[in-house]
């Protein structure tokens, strides 16, 4: 059976952005911790809730902001992705987010003119890989089964999960809130899966996933004082490299490919050090991480919206040739690593 293609990508970010220096100053951490923000490989981040307001809002108000923000950013990301294509052709829309919960889901609230027989799916609780792996796989499977185009959209409003700290960073679990506040931003990205004859749109060839449940409690959210509190242990970078590296290794082995055969890498820009460790583990050339580093620099870690942004930057800027191979790598709680291989063909 002919495999579906990645037809288009789009993304949207909140209007305003803040430099790392400015964000650090607003959040009010002691001066010694400024380096955590400045050494992150990030220049600026976009936030739905302005940093000035993050500390003031109740959990209820943050959830209300998530509702507004996820609808607006998802709508803009999908419009950007469709780029004039008819929304009535879409057979399935999968929405992913780990930074807010709505029932009915955000996808039901998108007033974009979908047909009444469009399938809606919401992926929740899969962290930074919700959109880029299980969401993408759902879209792929739907298109493969029905022949109809499908969309996956990931909207992550990390500013809506800001957890208040005192005057100094909370040292619980190795300063995980400080780590999170130094890297996470807000964005939505969307991917259109379908069939066409355009050689610039890659075929999705294969998927692989690898989860190590020993790291279950190192990444995700926990409930604390009636709010979601980020869980991001110091060891995540090491574990992320391990699980994603294993997923990639298995995927490439099955496809009889080597790391050096891959022309482009779209690796979840979780942080500079995570990218370093994945690069070292797999032996990827630094130049092939250009688009992951660029997305990190311009937008920060926008959780499951990240790989869509990296992919969009790549498609826009890279000199892609027929036959080129692309591997997308995602990282999520579990801790889980996902790998998807695509090929550009005539």
Partner 1 sequence: MTVFDRVAEEIAEIAGVDKSKVKIDASLKDDLDMDSLDQTLLMIALEEEFGQEIDDQTAETLTTVGQIVEFIEEKLGEAE
Q: Which residues is 211 bridged to in the sheet?
A: 336
CA atoms within 13 A on the CB side of 308: 38
Question: Distance between CA 155 and CA 168 in Å, rounded?
Answer: 30
Question: Could you tell me the smallest distance in angstroms from the CB atom of residue 261 to partner 1?
Answer: 29
| Closest approach of partner 1 to the CB of residue 5, in Å | 39
Binding site for partner 1 (CB under 8 A): 31-36, 39-40, 174-175, 178-179, 234, 237, 273
Hunting for tokens 């460790």 — which residue is that?
Answer: 277
Query: What is the rounded radius of gyration, in angstroms, for the C-alpha atoms of the chain?
Result: 19
Would you give the end-to-end CA distance of the chain in angstroms? 17
Smallest separation, CB 34 to partner 1 (Å): 7
Q: Which is nearer to partner 1, 175 or 299 (CB)?
A: 175
**Residue 315 burial (10 A CB sphere; 0-12, 13-18, 19+):** buried
Q: Among 301, 310, 121, which residue's Cα sits nearest to residue 219?
A: 301
- Between CA 223 and CA 162, with CA 212 as vertex, the angle to 5 degrees is 25
Please give the Cα distance from 29 to 239 (Å, whole number).
28
Closer to partner 1 at the Cβ: 33 or 101? 33
Nearer to partner 1, 5 or 237 (CB): 237
Shortest distance (Å) from residue 183 CB to partner 1: 11
Q: How far is the CB of 268 from partner 1 (least distance, A)?
A: 18
Residue 33 or 195 with smaller CB distance to partner 1: 33
Q: Which is nearer to partner 1, 19 or 80 (CB)?
A: 19
Minimum gap (Å) between residue 20 Cβ and partner 1? 12
Closer of 224 and 234 to partner 1 (Cβ): 234
The owner of tokens 């820009």 is 269
Please state the φ and ψ torsions of residue 170, each to the nearest 5 degrees: -80, 120
């Amino acid at each position: 059976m002919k495999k579906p293609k990645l037809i288009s990508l789009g993304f949207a970010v909140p209007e305003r952005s803040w430099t790392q220096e400015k964000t650090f100053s607003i959040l009010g951490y002691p001066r010694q911790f400024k380096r955590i923000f400045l050494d992150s490989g990030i220049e600026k981040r976009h936030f739905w809730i302005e940093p000035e307001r993050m500390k003031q809002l109740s959990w209820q108000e943050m959830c209300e902001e998530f509702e507004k923000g996820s609808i607006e950013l998802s709508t803009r990301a999908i419009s950007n992705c469709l780029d004039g294509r008819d929304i009535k052709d879409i057979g399935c829309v999968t929405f992913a987010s780990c930074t807010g919960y709505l029932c009915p889901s955000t996808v039901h609230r998108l007033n974009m003119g979908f047909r009444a027989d469009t399938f809606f799916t919401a992926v929740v609780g899969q962290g930074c890989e919700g959109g880029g792996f299980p969401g993408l796989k759902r879209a792929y499977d739907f298109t493969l089964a029905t022949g109809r185009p499908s969309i996956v959209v990931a909207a992550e409003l990390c500013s809506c999960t800001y957890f208040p700290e005192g005057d100094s960073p909370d040292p619980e679990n190795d300063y995980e809130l400080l780590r999170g506040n130094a890297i996470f931003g807000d964005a939505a990205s969307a991917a259109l899966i379908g069939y066409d004859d355009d050689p610039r749109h890659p075929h999705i060839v294969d998927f692989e996933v690898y989860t190590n449940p020993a790291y279950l409690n190192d990444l995700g959210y926990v409930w604390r004082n009636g709010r979601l509190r980020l869980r991001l242990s110091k060891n995540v970078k090491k574990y992320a490299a391990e699980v994603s590296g294993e997923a990639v290794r298995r995927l490439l082995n099955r496809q009889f490919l080597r790391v050096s055969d891959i022309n482009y890498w779209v690796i979840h820009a979780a942080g500079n050090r995570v990218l370093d460790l994945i690069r070292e583990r797999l032996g990827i050339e630094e130049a092939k991480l250009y688009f992951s580093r660029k997305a990190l620099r311009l937008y920060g870690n926008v959780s499951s919206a990240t790989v869509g942004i990296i992919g969009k930057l790549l498609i826009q800027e890279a000199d892609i040739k027929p036959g080129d191979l692309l591997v997308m790598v995602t990282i999520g709680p579990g801790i889980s690593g996902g790998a998807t291989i695509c090929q550009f063909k005539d």
